[in-house]
Structure 1
């Protein structure tokens, strides 16, 4: 039997209404590749019938389908990492389950990988999101790129392709907080981006609120760069010099003009500004310390309840106590 060439990893969280539509479009697209493939669904602790639907699909297509079941909700990127650890393909594709990224685009990613690239990112041609979300996403992307030097035009699009060596390197990392596309970019030697279509969500609602998107970008910045700390060091130095200059000016005015009471409210406003800067800096420092704390605890990143895999003759559910 020929080895698996393409693996598709799909995290699933409360997607019962859209899974059948995903199956109806995904498997024909994969069958058209003309090579051996596998689809790995990772159920991220869904509270609806997603796990049952995935199990049913596994029994229908056990030759190409594997299902990883979490016993709780550990997040999209932890689900993808768990999927990576169960892949066997030379090319690994990540795809969201909401059908906003068409499965029909997968052959284009595979063809681009076969040209010699080890990482293929994607850019959504026409985003079917609200104007506010598009503007906020664009601003966050540019800020992240300036800070981390990681060039991803559209970081929110999870339809991406990775070479086996890049996936193995990611699997060797044991980070608790990470952003997989950025991590892959740092390990790739010949990355490229292509434009793909973007559709409206087939069913359900987005699992990312505005706060979660901001949090994701903050995690990305603090996880891949210490530039924010360096910026605050520079700001602190400049404010110290400015404060010294202000003290000198006030002393001169005191000796020349005598005691004054004007400018009290200006000084109060300036003090509040400084206090705000200091509190923000302390919070930023706490973010880095918190990341260190989470890493040194060395707790399992997720817990797998079962893995559905096998052939029609040997269908099994492999119990896994935990995964580091």
Structure 2
């Protein structure tokens, strides 16, 4: 029987979880009877009652729901990575906890997977979001498609279904400061994209701040494209040629008596322009160097504070080494917290 792992990163989603869980369970009725589901709920360091709501969901469906509680907020992409680590399905899908992505689309993606397609991306044709958010999203994905990953659909994606083989490859990559989901098309397997319209958020507010969007933009560019470094090289070459030609012009003009070399203002403009470019170039190079340093330090990508496995799992199997190849750390587990099954976590 095919098993579908539904990975859901959660951050301050206490209001969304009851609605989301009901819709996901209801959505199972659309699938063939031989399909089974596993819900990997990743609490990304929420400080509200998100974990409480997740536990209620697990109590209602103990054989389907597992909870990964991260110690701190590491961002949605690391939360997805943690979910991939603990997903055991034959295929996996990632969907937002606010359910702006329609869960009924999972069935259509699942049908493609049964046909042998390893990666199915839900391509946002339109989104019922504020205008500024739409503009940022379209600009971001246009630049990424143009300069970095040409295989992603025009509207980008973060709602996706993929084979467990791709999941294993992403987990093995052990890569930080990147767009985790965009590693999937980068691997190179055959893929398809399905157009859809993203729904308007009904409950709560988005925690996807401008600073997080800018960081994702920089991370994606630096991880998947050599364009920033190449642009610096080209700009340096262009400025060098212009400087050489202008210097020759000044020299010839002076020797021929056409001008008296003064031009203090022009010199200052050139100096400021070149200095600004140098600082910009140093900043871009610094981004690459910092990421190289961050990789070599081998710090954990995330820290698992608590793991609440489903009843269908062997608890002893999930309680393995504290350090893994994924750069994950498991915190010492507290004895007073236990599952309904009696197994202490």
Give the TM interval when normalised to the shorter protein.
over 0.9
Partner of 2:64: 64
Q: For the residues of structure 1 that align with 2:318 and 2:87, how far apart are their CA atoms? A: 16
Deviation, structure 1 residue 313: 11
Deviation, structure 1 residue 315: 8.1
Partner of 2:19: 21
Aligned alpha-carbon RMSD (Å):
2.2
Structure 1 position 8 matched with structure 2 position 6: yes
- Structure 1 144/230 Cα, relative in aligned 2: closer, same or farther at 3 Å? same
Deviation per CA, 1:289-308: give whole Å up to 9, x if none. Answer: 00001000001111111211
Partner of 2:277: 277
Q: TM-score, normalised by structure 2?
A: 0.87
- Structure 1 313/169 Cα, relative in aligned 2: closer, same or farther at 3 Å? closer
Q: For the residues of structure 2 that align with 1:146 and 1:27, how far apart are their CA atoms? A: 39
Does structure 2 conserve the Cα–Cα contact (< 8 Å) formed by 1:96 and 1:159? yes
- Structure 1 165/313 Cα, relative in aligned 2: closer, same or farther at 3 Å? closer
Q: TM-score, normalised by structure 1?
A: 0.92
- Structure 1 69/316 Cα, relative in aligned 2: closer, same or farther at 3 Å? farther
Deviation, structure 1 residue 322: 5.3
- Structure 1 307/156 Cα, relative in aligned 2: closer, same or farther at 3 Å? farther
Q: For the residues of structure 1 that align with 2:64 and 2:188, how far apart are their CA atoms? A: 28
Aligned residues: 321
Does structure 2 conserve the Cα–Cα contact (< 8 Å) formed by 1:304 and 1:322? no
Does structure 2 conserve the Cα–Cα contact (< 8 Å) formed by 1:119 and 1:190? yes
Matched position secondary structure for 2:140: helix
Q: For the residues of structure 1 that align with 2:225 and 2:314, how far apart are their CA atoms? A: 47
Matched position secondary structure for 1:306: strand
Instruction: Give the alignment of 1:93-104 within 5 angstroms.
Output: 93-104=93-104
Matched position secondary structure for 2:243: helix
List structure 1 runs of 4+ shifted beyond 6 angstroms. Answer: 312-320
Does structure 2 conserve the Cα–Cα contact (< 8 Å) formed by 1:150 and 1:186? no
Deviation, structure 1 residue 25: 0.6
Matched position secondary structure for 2:198: coil
Deviation per CA, 1:125-173: give whole Å up to 9, x if none. Answer: 3311122222222122121222213332356542101111111111111
Structure 1 position 215 matched with structure 2 position 215: yes
Please, which moves more after superposition, 162-171 or 146-155? 146-155
Q: For the residues of structure 1 that align with 2:302 and 2:208, how far apart are their CA atoms? A: 20
Partner of 1:181: 181
Q: For the residues of structure 1 that align with 2:318 and 2:89, how far apart are their CA atoms? A: 20
Does structure 2 conserve the Cα–Cα contact (< 8 Å) formed by 1:308 and 1:317? no
Matched position secondary structure for 2:309: strand
Deviation per CA, 1:210-267: give whole Å up to 9, x if none. Answer: 2321221111010112221122112111211111111111111112224243x43333
Deviation per CA, 1:10-47: give whole Å up to 9, x if none. Answer: 00000011111101111111243131111110000101
Structure 1 position 139 matched with structure 2 position 139: yes
- Structure 1 175/127 Cα, relative in aligned 2: closer, same or farther at 3 Å? same
Instruction: Give the alignment of 1:143-154 within 5 angstroms.
Output: 143-153=143-153
Matched position secondary structure for 2:200: coil
